[in-house]
Structure 1
Amino acid sequence: MHDLSYDDIKSAADRIAGHVRPVAIAPGPDGVWLALEHLQHTGSFKARGAQNFLRAHREAGTLPDAGVTIASGGNAGLACAWSALRQGVRATVFLPANAPRVKVARLRSYEADVRLVGTEYAEALAACEEFAAASGALASHAYDHPLIAAGAGTLMEEIKQRIPDLDTVVVAVGGGGLFAGVATAARQHGVRTVAVEPENCRALDAALAAGGPVDVTVDSVASDSLGARRATSLAVQAARRGDVRPVLVPDGGIVRARRALWDDHRLAVEHAAATALAALPAASDPAAGPGTAAYRPEDGEKVCVILCGANTDLRTLTDDERDGTGGPVT
Structure 2
Amino acid sequence: MVTKGAPIPVTVIGGFLGAGKTTLVNHILNGDHGLKVAVLVNDFGAINIDAALITSTEGGLYSLSNGCVCCGLNQGFVEQLEGLLATRTDIDHIVIEASGVADPSRIMDTVRYARFAARLRADAIVVVVDAAGFDDAIAAAPGLAEAQIGSADLLVLNKTDLVDREKLDVWHARWTFPDTRIVETTSSRVPFDILFAGQVLPSGIASTFSAEPVHEPAVSATWRREGAVDLKCLQKVLTGLPTAVYRAKGFLRTIGGRRFAVHLVGTRLSFEPMANAPEGLDADNILVLIGFGERSAFETIMAHLDGCAEPIPPTATGAG
Tell me which protein shows more strand as a share of its residues: 2
Larger Rg: 2
TM category (shorter chain) comes to: 0.3 to 0.5
Give the TM-score, by structure 1 length.
0.32
TM-score of the aligned structures, taking structure 2 as reference length: 0.32
**Greater percentage in helix:** 1
